Structure 1
Amino acid sequence: MDPLKRFRALAAPLALALLALAAAAAVLATGPLGVSPEQLITALFGHGPPEAELALSLRGPRLLAAMTCGAALAGAGAGFQILFRNPLASPDLLGVTSGAGFGAALALLLGAGALLTQGAAFAGGLATGAVAIACAALTRSGDGRLALILCGIVAGALASAGLGLVIIVAEPYSQLPSITYWLLGSFTRATAGEALLALAPVGLGSAVLLWLGFRLDVLSLGDEQARSLGLPAAPLRLLALAAAALMTSSAVAIAGIVGWIGLLAPHAARRLVGDRAERLIPSAMAMGALFALLLDRLSTAFGPAELPVGLLSAAVGAPAFLALFIATSRRV
């Protein structure tokens, strides 16, 4: 690609990423522990004033978790929407979110700590996605995308049934509140180690989707079109699904179930950069990180008791998506 065209393709994602970083800096610069950008930069290198280092240590992990989670959900949602040519596709298309919720709830029921709970959520999400993909492969359906969607619904329903059973069995005064709060979604409990640990699978999944790039656009046209261009349709689709499931599981393991970001952020990014995967996926990830930051900041604006981010994402995301859908329909 011509360098000028490459720069134009990356201009919008870079601008959105810089906007998300500016929003994170603004969050650190406001509130009781607000610090200036200069103090923040020096604190990042370990030479800042004590108040800047304190603000960074207290708020930094939460901001990093929010941005990682938002970027992962939005990137996975964009990948699913391109691959299935379905604007309503979301990160839970393969039942990954339900599986992660079941894994975390089971770990909490057994008295596991935070790290084991996140590991169980991660394993549950990947297992559910793998079951959906394996069942779709066994069907040998002519329309592979339809088989994946139906098998994802079945796998998600089974995971939801297991989650309901865990909730029924849980002790109502000690175990059930923690399970319920985790399922509602929050970035409050994220530590620096957990946020940094999640960067590896999210980064790997993102790299795979970005590498696929135009191949996702071709896969969205159908298997025959992909094969006519010399692309192995089935392995590439499996790779894209695995990457999206990996990103979704990582996000749910950090924050619990946070909906609507993976559906709304790709739509908002599409209005800015269009439908091409090489522009849409990084733009959606930057937009998702920005949305997650704003939702996390909004969760603390209602007094000392924070609202779960999962509730806010539904309360804000549903009307925002409806307004965006109506505006897009009128343009068409």
Structure 2
Amino acid sequence: MTNKINITLSTTRKEKPNPSSLEFGRVFTDHMFVMDYSETKGWYDPRIVPYEPISLYPSTMVFHYGQTVFEGLKAYRTKEDKIFLFRPDKNFQRLNLSNDRLCIPHIDEEFAAEALKQLISIEKDWIPSAPGTSLYIRPFIIPTEYYLGVAPSKYYRFMIILSPVGSYYKEGIKPVKIYVEDNYVRAVKGGTGTAKTGANYAASLKAQENAEKNGYSQVLWLDGLEKKYIEEVGSMNIFFKINGEVVTPALNGSILEGVTRNSIIHLLKHWDIPVSEKRISMEEVYQAYKDGFLEEAFGTGTAAVISPIGEFFYNDEKMVLNNGETGELSKKLYDTLTGIQTGKHEDLFNWIVEVN
């Protein structure tokens, strides 16, 4: 594959949205990155082109067998007008792990990162500067062979699209209410839970719909076999602070390894706060709550960074944490991570990549 990225600039530019009214994933920038794959050529024809519809036959495999992977990360504008990416190498590493599970050819991670930088350089005027805003980045790969057969595709398309997004919390970081799901499951060991693939999210929609009908923001997923051990919350990893120790479910073959999760563990160790990755049951958490030892709980992910949990609904009982308010550690983690991402705090871990 040639490393030269062909660039075709749009002749018409879209009006940029009002930063104060940005929604997540509704508005997209003027350009996108595209690269194709075939068995004979490998990955070829990397290009930045105007954001536009793509043409696919109805028999294209993407519509039928779910062989898709994606990633999510952000670009941030600092007060000094610099553009920062947060640990993009980890996202492209994870994309290749997802590729492995879905039988998709690996991408060159360094080249993908360089392509992303070039795309962002072209679209840097789209990165909002208001507090809490950023440019959401969605790399994804789809099969493009037109064939109705259950087999890995012989052709693929890798794309990166960009979307300016507002603050996840419109009025500041606020705790959410969580419904503990004991019927539906997200994934099982040996399945696709460790991959970032669309099918995992489609499988979650029914439980999420039921939770929202009952007044809850997200679902807490339990393991798919015994429906006993905690896995994820919504589309996020989850942490508990129990009697001074922070605990998160160990990666077990069905839990997605989050970039934010990894960063949180690094920060906690740096602060000398006890943190462990282990199998933990909902019953253990419930008992810690009853004993007065459950101090905080929060989800972690790209969109919200830290999502504090104010209430669980479990076994027909409401478990209210911190009187429904954000915990001290959750707030400190949120402020620190977002501070590093936006240049307000020193980057002690070399997580930031600047885009020129």
- Structure number with the higher helix fraction is 1
TM-score, scaled to structure 2? 0.27
TM-score, scaled to structure 1? 0.28
